[in-house]
Structures are given as structure tokens and as C-alpha cells.
């Protein structure tokens, strides 16, 4: 059990460093995760956004990634519009916190599913309320760059691997739903899928629409790099139609 002084010191340090990022509830969740051994404290921000903040954190001799969904600024109505059509969350109440908690749980479950099926993504370690802890992709020099920031040396081969990963996702009944150069990492010239909280099962009536949008976005991006693929052909490959 943590002493009152230890807890007070942790929260004071956290507030001093990130006082404009965390609410009291999230601070308490982070403290519990630290006491459970999933991390030893936040280090530096990887991405700060309206919906979620992503930090690197120390854990033993290495690092983990901590993704924190913001309770105050998340567009939970948009979140609800996506998640309510997912049969896995059919009983979800239209309650702001419950929706955000479900969004974090969905990201963890989707990452776990991808990892178990050999699709490159951060390994999920745990989730609690609005926080997900996952594998750090990168090295001591920094977190792996997104494809938009680090173009692949061979765009055609890279895109072929992305399509193969999308096909494998579809074969296990999942569609990413928000796939673009912003949420694919380029780590050692291999694609790594991230930001899978929006990923839904293929039984979702909107899944096919999301898949076609993903394909359009990727074809448009890789065409600029000289890797031109027909969206209809890619769709047929991914769905085996």
C-alpha cells in the first residue's frame, strides 16, 4: 500500500508537470497503475490532442506508452455514434464517462486481437477506465515515426504489406475504420498499425463504408509516393471479393 505522503508527492509532481492535461480522476488512475507496476511514472509526451494524450513512461529498463483519453474534451457524441453500431457494445449507455471508458476498453481489445493474430501493432498491457498502457515502439532515440513523417524507402512494397495487414484484419472480422498515414508507424521499414479504438467488427453495418474510406485514404497517399493502386482492386484483395 502506498503511504499518504507517497501519493501526495506523486500527484503534486504530476500536477506541476502536466497541470493543464490531467483531471483529478485521471491522476488517481495513473497512480493506481504505477502501484500495480505497469509504469514507473510519465516521462515525455508523444502526442497531445483534444481526444487523447499519449505519453512515454518508464517501466523497468525500458519504456511503455500510456494513452489517456481526456474526460473533459473528448467528443463523446461522435464516439457514441461510432461505438453504438458495434454489436460488442450494444448495451452501452449514453453516458459520457461510460462511453469514454468503453472507447479505451475497445482499443485494448482490438490491439489484443490484432497482436494475437500476428498483425503488427503495439502489444497491449492493460487498461483502466480512460487509460491504456501498451508497448513502446521505437528505441532510445525516440518513438517510431508515423508514415506521414517518415516515408518508406520502397513505397510499393510498404503499401503491399499494409494491404496484407488490412486483409488479415478483415479475415479475423475487423476493420480499422480510421487508417491513414497518420496512424501507421514506419518502424524499420515495416508498417505498424496504431489508434485502433475506432476499429469495428465486420458485422457492423457501417464496416464496409469505413473500409472503403480507409482504402481511398491510403491509395491517395501512396499514389503521391509513386505506388499507384486502384482502390477497387485493393478492396477486392482485402475482402477477397
- Return the bridge partners of 134, or none: 65, 124
203 classed as catalytic: no
| Structural domains for the chain | 8-135 (3.30.200.20), 142-239 (1.10.510.10)
Tens digit of pLDDT for each residue in 118-176? Answer: 999 999 999 999 999 999 999 988 999 999 999 999 999 999 999 999 999 999 999 99
Q: Out of 86, 195, 203, 233, pick the active-site residue.
A: 195
Name the DSSP letter for residue 57: E
Residues 178, 203, 214, 233: which is the catalytic one? 178
pTM comes to 0.90
Per-residue burial over 56-86, b if 16 or more Cβ lie within 10 Å, else e, is bbebeeebbbbbbbbbeebebeebbebbebb
Q: Is 195 one of the catalytic residues?
A: yes
For the stretch 29-82, pLDDT in tens is 999 999 999 999 888 889 888 889 999 999 998 999 999 999 887 888 888 888
The pLDDT of residue 5 is above 90: no
DSSP string for 63-84:
EEEEEEE-TTT--HHHHHHHHT
The residue among 88 and 184 whose pLDDT is bigger is 184
Rounded CA separation 121/185 (Å): 9
Amino acid at each position: 500500500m502506498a503511504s499518504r505522503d507517497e501519493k501526495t508527492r506523486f500527484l503534486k509532481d504530476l500536477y506541476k508537470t502536466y497541470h493543464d492535461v490531467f483531471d483529478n480522476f485521471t491522476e488517481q488512475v495513473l497512480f493506481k497503475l504505477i502501484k500495480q507496476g505497469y509504469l514507473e511514472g510519465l516521462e515525455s509526451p508523444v502526442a497531445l490532442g483534444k481526444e487523447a494524450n499519449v505519453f512515454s513512461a518508464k517501466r523497468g529498463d525500458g519504456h511503455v506508452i500510456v494513452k489517456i483519453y481526456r474526460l473533459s474534451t473528448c467528443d463523446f457524441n461522435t464516439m457514441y455514434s461510432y461505438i453504438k453500431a458495434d454489436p460488442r457494445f450494444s448495451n452501452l449507455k449514453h453516458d459520457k464517462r461510460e462511453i469514454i471508458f468503453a472507447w479505451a476498453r475497445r482499443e485494448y481489445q482490438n490491439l489484443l486481437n490484432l497482436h494475437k493474430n500476428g498483425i503488427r501493432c503495439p502489444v497491449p498491457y492493460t487498461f483502466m477506465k480512460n487509460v491504456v498502457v501498451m508497448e513502446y515502439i521505437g528505441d532510445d532515440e525516440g518513438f517510431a515515426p508515423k508514415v506521414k513523417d517518415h516515408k518508406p524507402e520502397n513505397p510499393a512494397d510498404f503499401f503491399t504489406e499494409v494491404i496484407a495487414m488490412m486483409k488479415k484484419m478483415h479475415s479475423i472480422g475487423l476493420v480499422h475504420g480510421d487508417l491513414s498515414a497518420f496512424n501507421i508507424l514506419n518502424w524499420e521499414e515495416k508498417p505498424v498499425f496504431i489508434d485502433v479504438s475506432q476499429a469495428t467488427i465486420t458485422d457492423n453495418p457501417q464496416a464496409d463504408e469505413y473500409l472503403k474510406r480507409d482504402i481511398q485514404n491510403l491509395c491517395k497517399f501512396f499514389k503521391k509516393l509513386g505506388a499507384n493502386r486502384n482502390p477497387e482492386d485493393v478492396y477486392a484483395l482485402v475482402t477477397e471479393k
